[in-house]
A and B are shown apart, each in its own frame.
Chain A
């Protein structure tokens, strides 16, 4: 269902919802980078171009999250679970790519053992995302089956069509209920609105004409775990973990206890395959070198995740390309592998011809 809503009216709805919902949105504090956090006034929402350097994954998979608390007594331990006390939330203004990323993590945190904390956050969050009218230079969502106005993971997808208006794609059942609740605030789209949206979509797509073979290198990855190429792909990697922390789909974590004398908490904390300690055992380290840890990251995203869930663990947001302190670019890496793949292929064909 397609509707149109004026920003003023949308702000009114948000004000109304703030009474019993937590509203979270991208904001741009003065002199600081764009971030994603709770807001108290819809005027705070940053609808401008450019994605936030941090992704919204921390809203579902917090950087550090209490799993339960405990108190040690003589010959006993009292365990206190964490209830699902989080308020219903409206997440508004995040980009399509980040909304899609959350559905990728559903694969991991759902399944046969369900991570109740992650799933409760997902269930209680209504997502109103914003299509990217102006994708940035480092974006490549169209190379991973997404687009600047992909609906994946969104309840409502807004597209800014100018004149203070949004084109609203009402996607899910929850969104239909939302629409019915605020029906009087929405307008029927005019022919002009529809054309304007199409124009903006086309313009956005025009900025993403380059196709990168993110998914096409899978066959090479399947057969080249031992390729000498791995050693030379990213020699400058310093293992800082920035790419994994900024990535909206990276989900590896650690479980640690933090305690004082008799009380403490067990926590689930972000971890990274870039770190040496990630796989370090007392007597054994399967990935002693940084290039092996880099290989794990690429393999996990573009092969292992695909093997397990039939999707690449990448939404093309470009954050890792933008923020790597030593300028490692996953697209360079993918292109290099693609080159290798093609030359392997031609060698293979030559052999066949002989």
Chain B
């Protein structure tokens, strides 16, 4: 029987500085045979580990359509993530996954999609965004609204520029008031405020939202006001996890385990949760 706690070895292929404390690691399976057999869906996560420091939970931020590697974007915030930030190309880290459910992408075919992200919360959306852009013809209008506290806090800057250039999507970037620089060419304002300017068709849309809790709260209010039903608003939740397999007992919200029943939920489901997160 396999050891479910034993990770695959993955080699760091590249490291990209996103912000002062966020790096994106591109990883490839050390054993190419495992790499070829590996697949995942946008929205799933993994347990990433630095041997000797321990494991940490991150979503896979690259798209399943890009084969041969996975990426994770990591904010240096604790023991494991600080050590991870010290690692460089060629180093080996551990990976267990993919775990959890995923974005209901089949339901999104032919629909308009509105991605609303804040800060590092763009990471799980990025997986789905590239997934949709790589099969662009399957979806209706695609709108991406991304905001961060300041220009320096925006992640995936090259990709933001690419999205801005594309004519088959609407892309809006914003920073909180006071976070703009002199040469900032995006909006200035909080995401829920900027959102009001969007011209959307709620009846045929899905909105996929991820960001800090306070942003999510007001974005949901806004979407509700525009006419989105809770079923049409999808997010991915974060709780402290260890096993990722529904066993270690800590990531539950009520009787739902975020690691197994989630991390992707729509707001009709979330409204049923006890208020514990």
Contact = CB atoms under 8 A, between A and B. Distances in A.
B4 A114 contact: yes
Contacts of A282: 77-78
Given A70-B51, A116-B1, A286-B276, A79 B6 contact: yes
Interface in B225-267: 238-240, 242-243, 245-250, 252-255
Contacts of B248: 252-255, 271
Interface of A: 67-68, 70, 72, 75-77, 79, 81-82, 108-109, 111, 113-117, 119-120, 225-226, 251-257, 259, 264, 266, 268, 271, 273, 278-284, 286-287, 292, 296, 299-300, 303-304, 307-308
Given A115-B4, A308-B255, A109 B247 contact: yes
The 7 A-B residue pairs with the shortest CB-CB distance in the complex, in nearest-first order: A252-B249, A225-B274, A259-B52, A116-B1, A304-B255, A307-B255, A113-B245
A349 B52 CA distance: 60
Contacts of B238: 281, 284
B114 to A, nearest CB: 26
Contact of B9 (A79, A278, A286): A79
B42 interface: no
A292 B277 CA distance: 12
Given A225-B274, A226-B275, A257-B51, A116 B90 contact: no
A80 B119 CA distance: 39
Nearest to A253: B248
B98 to A, nearest CB: 12
Given A255-B248, A259-B51, 8 more contacts: A72-B51, A76-B9, A79-B7, A225-B254, A255-B55, A255-B242, A283-B77, A284-B277
A279 B55 contact: no
B239 A281 contact: yes
B54 interface: yes
Interface residues of B, number: 40
Contacts of B213: 284
Most central of B53, B243, B246, B247 by chain A CB within 10 Å:
B247
A218 to B, nearest CB: 11
A254 B242 contact: yes
Contact of A304 (B5, B7, B77, B254): B254
B6 A67 contact: yes
Interface of B: 1-7, 9, 49, 51-55, 77-78, 90-92, 94, 213, 238-240, 242-243, 245-250, 252-255, 274-277
Contacts of B4: 113-116
Contacts of B9: 76-77, 79
Contacts of B52: 70, 72, 257, 259, 264
Given A75-B91, A264-B52, A286-B277, A253 B3 contact: no
Nearest to A110: B247
Contact of A82 (B3, B51, B246): B3
Nearest to B2: A116
B123 to A, nearest CB: 15
A279 B92 contact: no
Contacts of B242: 253-255, 271
Contacts of A259: 51-52
Contacts of A264: 51-52
A129 B255 CA distance: 33
A257 B243 contact: no
B258 to A, nearest CB: 10
Nearest to A256: B54
B77 A115 contact: no
Interface centre among B54, B213, B239 (most CB of A within 10 A): B54
14 contacts: A70-B51, A72-B52, A76-B92, A77-B94, A113-B247, A114-B1, A116-B1, A253-B242, A253-B243, A255-B243, A273-B250, A284-B213, A300-B249, A307-B255
A279 B239 CA distance: 8
A264 B213 CA distance: 37
Nearest to A117: B3
A79 to B, nearest CB: 6
B237 to A, nearest CB: 11
B5 A67 contact: yes
Contacts of A79: 6-7, 9, 94
A79 B255 CA distance: 35
B250 A279 contact: yes
B101 to A, nearest CB: 13
